[in-house]
Amino acid sequence: MEYAALQEEIKNAMRARDKNRLAILRQVLGEVKNIEVNERREIVEADVDAMLKRLVKQTSETLEGSIKAGTNEERTAMLKEQVEILEAYLPKQIEGAELVALVEKTIAEVGAETKRDMGKVMGALNAATGGNFDKAAAAKEVGSRLA
pTM of the model: 0.72
Grade residue 95 by pLDDT with cuts at 50, 70 and 90: confident
Grade residue 13 by pLDDT with cuts at 50, 70 and 90: very high
What residues have CB less than 8 Å from 134, skipping those under 6 apart?
A: 93, 94, 95, 99
What residues have CB less than 8 Å from 79, skipping those under 6 apart?
A: 59, 62, 63, 66
Residue 98 near residue 92, CB atoms below 8 Å: no
Distances (CA, A) of 120 to 16, 20, 112, 126, 131: 46, 41, 8, 10, 14
Cα(25)–Cα(18) distance, integer angstroms: 11
3-state secondary structure of 42: coil
Q: Could you give all domains of the chain from N- to C-terminal order, each with its CATH number?
A: 3-89 (1.10.1510.10), 97-145 (1.10.10)
3-state secondary structure of 19: helix
Q: What is the pLDDT of residues 15-50, one digit of tens each?
A: 999 999 999 999 999 998 998 899 998 888 888 888
Average pLDDT of the segment spanning 5-11: 93
Q: Which amino acid appears at position 24 of this protein?
A: I
Average pLDDT of the segment spanning 93-116: 90
Cα(72)–Cα(77) distance, integer angstroms: 9
pLDDT higher than 80, residue 147? no
Average pLDDT of the segment spanning 53-80: 90
